[in-house]
Amino acid sequence: MSRQVIVSGNWKMHHNHYEAIQFVQKLAALLRTSPLPAGRQATLHPTFTSLRSVQAAVESDAVPVLLGAQDCHAEDRGAYTGEVSAEMLSKLNVSYVIVGHSERRAYCGETDEVVRAKLDAVLRHSMTPILCVGETLEQRQAGDAFAKVSSELAAALGKRPSEVVGALVVAYEPIWAIGTGQSASSSDAEEMAAYVRREVARLAGGEAAVSIRVQYGGSVTPESAAELLACDNVDGLLVGGASLDADSFAAIARAGS
């Protein structure tokens, strides 16, 4: 079965809304000249303050990208100063929400329990979570990479209906590869993506394992994208630094076609 390939640009804390609009206009022109291949989906994950502007720019130029967010709160509303709920994101036509990015786990103290609750919130509002999992360098060197990924998957996906799990996106992002310029090799990415699928089969059954989409993330570039996308079990890419430039994001989104 050929799964739909999904390439996502995680802008992190970059691009104010003026820069975001310029990006979308440039991307629109690039994708008009050279469209995305069939079966390819692209998502953009700007900061909360740029979501509305990006949505308007995407709609007015009919850019073939879907709107994504980088995070959300687990509750729908309440006394949580500074937070943004999944419900609010869904009202802005957000389709995908990154959940449990390693930067949020590390800098904002997000535990597996918090990540699971955020995943619940995203699903409650009919959006698709991109669940991030991945090991640190120390864990990889100690031979614990698979155990780490397994425990993050079990905490977030355990005891969920098969059809729910099968519709998700999991991003395997080795922490040592994020923002370091040191991408995982395609064979390491493939090995872990295949493992993610086996774990999903264990947690939610074989059908979920076939239909779930597994992204690789960590220092993806236009040069490395095609080889990573050629891996049997890699259905997409989660791109940070290289998604900030429209030329480079467009090249990655079209890679291998």
What is the CA 140 to chain-centroid distance, rounded?
Answer: 22
- Minimum CB distance to ligand PGA smaller for 105 or for 116: 105
Footprint (CB under 6 A) of ligand PGA, residues 5-24: 10
**Closest approach of Cβ 179 to ligand PGA, in Å?**
4
Q: List the end-to-end C-alpha distance of the chain, in Å, as a whole number.
A: 18
**Closest approach of Cβ 8 to ligand PGA, in Å?**
8
Decide the pairing of beta strands 40-45 and 66-69: parallel
Degrees to nearest 5, angle at CA 221 with 220 and 227: 75
Whose CA is closest to 229, among 255, 191, 202, 201? 255
- Identify whether 14 is a catalytic site residue: no
- Minimum CB distance to ligand PGA smaller for 58 or for 220: 220
Footprint (CB under 6 A) of ligand PGA, residues 191-230: 217-220
The DSSP line for 192-231 is HHHHHHHHHHHHH-HHHHHH-EEEEESS--HHHHHHHHTS
- Minimum CB distance to ligand PGA smaller for 74 or for 242: 242
Which position among 130, 168, 241, 254 is part of the footprint of ligand PGA (CB under 6 A)?
Answer: 241
Residue nearest to ligand PGA (CB): 240
68 binds ligand PGA (CB under 6 A): no
- Identify whether 173 is a catalytic site residue: yes
- Minimum CB distance to ligand PGA smaller for 134 or for 166: 134
**Closest approach of Cβ 220 to ligand PGA, in Å?**
5
**Closest approach of Cβ 203 to ligand PGA, in Å?**
23
Question: Of the residues 110, 135, 152, 173, which is catalytic?
Answer: 173
**HSE-CB for 41 with a 13 A CA cutoff:** 15
- Minimum CB distance to ligand PGA smaller for 46 or for 240: 240
Site size toward ligand PGA (CB under 6 A) is: 13
In DSSP terms, which residues pair with 215 in a beta bridge?
A: 171, 236
Segments of 65-119 assigned E as strands? 66-69, 96-99
What is the CA 205 to chain-centroid distance, rounded?
Answer: 22
Active-site positions read 101, 173
